[in-house]
Chains A and B, each alone.
Chain A
Amino acid sequence: MKAIELNQVSKSFRDGSKTIEALKETNFSVEPGEFVAIIGPSGSGKSTFLTIIGGLQQPSEGKVMIANEKFSELKEKERAKRRFKEIGFILQASNLVPFLTVKEQLMLVNKVEKSTINSDRIHTLLEELDIIDLADKYPGDLSGGERQRAAIARALYHDPTVILADEPTASLDTSRAFEVVEILARETKNKKKATIMVTHDERLTEYCDSVYVMKDGVLERQTDK
C-alpha cells in the first residue's frame, strides 16, 4: 500500500493572459515509514506541491491518493475532514494555538472530533519528544525547538497516515534543526508514517530515505540517495 500517490498531477495558474505552470506533470509516491525530503530554491513550486498533497488546493490535472483514497476528487468539506484525520501538518512558524498549553494543543484534537481525551497517549507522546515538563506551558514561553517538538506531537497525536512538514527548521539554529529532523525521522520509522519534509537546507537530508529536487515546477529524484 502506498500512503501517498500522485498520478500525472500538474498545477497551472492563469496570470493575466499567461499560464504559469507551477507544477509540471508529476508522478510520485511515498510508502508508510518513508521519510522524503524535497529541496529546491524558493519559488520553485515546493509549497504548491505540498499544499496539493495536503488538499489545500486542487491539482489542475491528475489525481492525489492518500491511503488509497481519491483525495483530490473529494468535495472541499469532505477533504477537510480527511485532512484532519489523515494528515499532520508541521509548519515553519509554529502552528500552535497561542492560548493553549502544549497539552491542550493535543486535547483540541479530541474536542474537534468530540472524542474522549486520551491522557496516556498525550503523556507518552510528550515524553517521547522530551517535552513532558513543558506540558502546561504556553507556546509563547517555549523556545523555537521546543515549539517545533510540540508541533510534531500535535501532528502525531491523531495518528495520521501522512506528515507534511513545510520548512520545519526554518526558525532554528543548526543543532536544534538537526535535533528536530532527527526526531521527525525517528517518529516516521517508529510509527510508520509517510513523511514529506520541504526544506532548503540540504544538510538535513542525511536523515531522509529519499531526496527530491524541485526546480521550476519539475520534481526530480536525486540519484545519489
Chain B
Amino acid sequence: MFLAWKEIKHSKTRFALIIGIVVLVSYLVSFLTGLAYGLAQENRTAVDKWDADGIVLTNESNLNLNSSMFEAEEQDYVTSDEKAVLGVSSNIVRIDGSEDTEDNINVTIFGVESNEFLNPEIVEGDTFEEDTVVADISLSEEEGLQVGDMLKLSGQNREVKIAGFTDGAKFSVTPVLYTTVETFQKIKYDVDIIEENQEYPINGIVVRNDGDIDTVSIDSDDLEVYSTSEFINKLPGYNAQVLTFGLMIGFLVLIAALVIGIFIYVLTLQKASMLGVMKAQGISSGYIAKSVIAQTFLLALIGVLIGFGLTILTGFFLPSAVPYQNNYLFLVATMASLIVFALMGAVFSVRTVVKIDPLEAIE
C-alpha cells in the first residue's frame, strides 16, 4: 500500500487519467444499471405491489394476462388462503375536453373488487367507485392530472373520473388505473349496462397462499396457477429487456477490467528496471506484486466511488419521465464486480513482476 499510494501521489496526472476512465466507465455502468432496474420496475411494480404468491390463468394463455379469459364465477374452483379477481384492459385515455392527440396516454386498466387484497393503497384522494378510478401517481407527476379530472377513453363515448392516486402502479411500462370489475367490464367490452345473464370474462385470479402455490388446488381443467416470478418473467418484453441490459452491463464491466488491466500492465512494464533493482535489493516479488494489486484496487475504488456519486447525483436531476431508479443492492453489486474484475486484470502485471530478473537490472 505504501508504494502504491506514494506513486499515485507522485504521478498525479497519469493516475488522474486512469481514474478518469474508471469514473466514466463506472458512471456509465451504474447509470445503465439504474435505467435497467427502472425499466424493469415499470414493467412489474404493479405486480410486486400485489404481494401475491401466484396467479391463476387459463392454461392456454401462455401466461399472457390479456389472452387468459374466463368467467368470474370460476373462482369458486380455486382454493387458496386469499384470492382476488383481476380484469385487465389496455386503453388510451385523454384528459376530457382535449382534442390534441399529443395528450393521449397509454394506460392499463385493472378491474378489482374493493373488498379484496388487490385494492391499492391510496396516497392521495379517495378510493374508486363505479365509473371512477385510482390512478398511478406518475400520471399526476408527469401528466399533471389531478383528483377530479375526467379522462375520456379513446374510441368510446365513455369517461372515468380520477378519484385518487396510488403509487408504484406500473404494468408493462404503462400507468395503471384501478377500478371496479364492473367498470372494467363496461370499458373492455364497451357496454353501458352489465347484464346478469351475459358473459363478461375476467383475466386472472391472484392468490396469496403463505408463500406456497403448490397447495393451491384448482378444480378445473382449464385453469392453472403460476408463481408470481414466472408470471413476471413472461411479461411481454420483460425478459428481453432485462437480458439486453444485463449483457451490456456485463460487457462494460469486462471492458473496464481490461482497460484498467492494460494500463497497469503498461505502467509495470515501464517500471521494470526499477522493479528489477528493488528485487536485487531483496524486496520480494510478493511485496511488489501486492503493491501492484493494491494500486489497482485504489484506482478502481476511487474511480468507482466517484462514478457512483455521479450516478446518485444524476438521479436527482433526471426528469421523472426517464425510467431511472436506484437500487443500491444492484449498484453496489456492479461496482464490486467492477473492482473485482479490475483486480483480475492486474494479474497480468503480477506475472510480469515475478518474471523480472534482478540480474538484468544490475548488469
Judge: A and B partners, yes or no.
Answer: yes
A13 to B: closest C-beta gap in Å: 12
Residues of B within 8 A of A2 (CB): none
Establish whether residues A104 and B6, one from each chain, have CB atoms under 8 Å apart when the complex forms. yes
Interface residues of A (CB under 8 A from B): 47, 50-51, 54, 56-57, 77, 80-85, 87, 89, 91, 95, 97-100, 104, 107-108, 111-112, 138, 166
Q: How far, in whole Å, are A95 and B282 apart by their CA atoms in the complex?
A: 13
Residue B199 is within 8 A (CB to CB) of chain A in the complex: no
Establish whether residues A97 and B2, one from each chain, have CB atoms under 8 Å apart when the complex forms. no
Interface residues of B (CB under 8 A from A): 2-3, 6-7, 9-11, 274, 277-284, 287, 358-359, 362-363
Q: Please pick, from A47, A100, A104, A138, the residue contacting B363 in the complex, using a CB distance under 8 A.
A: A47
Q: How far, in whole Å, are A97 and B280 apart by their CA atoms in the complex?
A: 13
Establish whether residues A77 and B3, one from each chain, have CB atoms under 8 Å apart when the complex forms. no
Establish whether residues B2 and A111, one from each chain, have CB atoms under 8 Å apart when the complex forms. yes
Establish whether residues A77 and B2, one from each chain, have CB atoms under 8 Å apart when the complex forms. no
Establish whether residues A56 and B2, one from each chain, have CB atoms under 8 Å apart when the complex forms. no
Contacts between the two chains (Cβ within 8 Å), count: 66
Q: How far, in whole Å, are A166 and B287 apart by their CA atoms in the complex?
A: 25
Q: How far, in whole Å, are A107 and B5 apart by their CA atoms in the complex?
A: 14
Can you show 5 pairs from A to B with CB atoms below 8 A apart? A51-B363, A80-B283, A84-B282, A89-B362, A97-B274
Find the A residue at minimum CB distance from B291.
Answer: A111
Q: Is the interface of B mostly helix, strand, loop or mixed?
A: helix
Establish whether residues B7 and A84, one from each chain, have CB atoms under 8 Å apart when the complex forms. no
Q: Please pick, from A47, A87, A112, the residue contacting B283 in the complex, using a CB distance under 8 A.
A: A112
Residues of A within 8 A of B362 (CB): 47, 50-51, 54, 56, 89, 91, 166
Q: How far, in whole Å, are A84 and B359 apart by their CA atoms in the complex?
A: 15
Residues of B within 8 A of A95 (CB): 277, 280-281
Establish whether residues A97 and B363, one from each chain, have CB atoms under 8 Å apart when the complex forms. no
Q: How far, in whole Å, are A91 and B277 apart by their CA atoms in the complex?
A: 9
Establish whether residues B284 and A100, one from each chain, have CB atoms under 8 Å apart when the complex forms. no
Q: Which 8 A-B pairs have the closest CB atoms?
A: A84-B282, A99-B10, A83-B282, A111-B2, A99-B7, A95-B277, A56-B359, A80-B282
